[in-house]
């Protein structure tokens, strides 16, 4: 586990991710009429949503457009309390001023999990942006995150060793990888929920409700966004960005200790979104 003092000092390294990115001084409120930002922990179908909305000729829909990767580190640092809101706003401007010059479509939709910690900055810098928060049951989110490499390979190595690539592991936990993903789920979804309480253009939808048989929530979302209003989403039967490995089994096969890590870490926030514990 990376010590707190080391992570606090590492906050200065975040500036490296902003090198070469310049605030052009544009007034973002005047550039885009009510842009749409789809935010989540990841593993919530946001890549699929971007592809679906981009089929509509009225929309310019993108998923994690470059440059975005550095925003992930800022989001994690913000959730840890290592950077101030003003720094998040300055960073957002560096990544997004000058970004929209060639976009001609009337509806701009960005699904970007790296931007999730910038919800307040988005509200401050854009003209009443529509914030769509997609939340997924942590009992399936944690499994999907681990199966997608959160604790293995190069990604897993970075998550363990690079400050703010992910939350630090809890060395006292019997299941630290599960604990880390569960804590990230809890902190980020609680943050977005708190932002949304005082912002009228915030809307939350549960991942599990988007693709049920009657498609009512999916149709609700397309009407809210103002794009992608087809009878059914394209490629509905094929999952986009599906986890390539099966490193951890479904929840029903978890040990009681593994389950307890998730329920104890996430129970309070699960209740906010009507997930039964």
What integer pLDDT is reported at residue 2 of this predicted model? 46
Rounded to 10 degrees, the C-alpha dihedral 90/92/96/97 comes to -20
* Three-class DSSP category at 4: helix
Kindly report, residue by residue over 216-255, the tens digit of the pLDDT: 999 999 999 999 986 556 554 345 556 556 779 999 999 9
Mean pLDDT, rounded, of the chain:
90
Which three-class secondary structure state does DSSP give residue 160? helix
Tell which residue, 124, 11, 121, has the closest CA to residue 76. 11
Q: What residues contact 258, with CB distance under 8 A and at least 6 apart?
A: 175, 178
pLDDT of 235 reads 55
Tell me the β-bridge partners of 63.
111
Q: What number is the average pLDDT over the span 104-114?
A: 96
Residue with tokens 């998923």: 63
Block residue for tokens 């490995």: 245
Q: What is the mean pLDDT of residues 139-152?
A: 90
Render pLDDT for 74-87 as a digit per residue (tens, 0 to 9): 999 999 999 999 99
Q: What domains lie within the chain, and their CATH numbers? A: 18-230+242-272 (3.40.50.300)
Range from 9-13, 20-24, 36-40, 176-180 that averages highest in pLDDT? 36-40
Q: What's the pTM? A: 0.92
What are the helix (H) ranges across the chain?
A: 4-10, 28-31, 46-54, 69-79, 85-96, 119-125, 138-145, 153-161, 176-197, 207-210, 216-225, 256-272
In angstroms, the CA 149 to CA 156 distance is 6
């Amino acid at each position: 586990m990376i010590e707190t003092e080391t992570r606090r000092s590492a906050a200065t390294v975040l500036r490296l991710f902003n090198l070469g990115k310049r605030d052009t001084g544009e007034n973002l409120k005047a550039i885009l009429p009510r842009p749409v930002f789809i935010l989540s922990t990841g593993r919530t179908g946001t890549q699929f949503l971007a592809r679906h909305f981009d089929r509509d000729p009225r929309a310019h829909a993108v998923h994690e457009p470059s440059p975005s990767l550095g925003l992930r580190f800022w989001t994690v640092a913000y959730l840890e309390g290592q950077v101030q809101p003003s720094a998040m706003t300055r960073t957002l401007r560096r990544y997004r001023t000058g970004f929209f010059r060639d976009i001609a479509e009337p509806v701009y939709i960005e699904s970007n999990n790296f931007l999730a910690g910038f919800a307040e900055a988005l509200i401050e810098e854009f003209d009443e942006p529509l914030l769509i928060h997609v939340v997924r049951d942590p009992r399936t989110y944690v499994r999907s995150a681990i199966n997608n490499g959160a604790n293995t390979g190069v990604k897993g190595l970075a998550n363990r060793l690079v400050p703010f690539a992910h939350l630090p592991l809890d060395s006292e936990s019997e299941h630290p990888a599960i604990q880390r993903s569960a804590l990230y789920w809890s902190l980020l979804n609680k943050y977005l929920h708190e932002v949304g309480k005082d912002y009228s253009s915030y809307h939350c939808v549960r991942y599990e409700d988007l693709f049920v048989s009657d498609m009512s929530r999916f149709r609700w979302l397309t009407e809210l966004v103002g794009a992608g209003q087809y009878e059914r989403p394209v490629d509905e039967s094929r999952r986009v960005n599906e986890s390539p490995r099966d490193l951890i089994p479904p929840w029903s096969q978890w040990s009681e200790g593994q389950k307890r890590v998730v329920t104890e870490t996430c129970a309070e926030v699960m209740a906010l979104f009507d997930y039964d514990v």
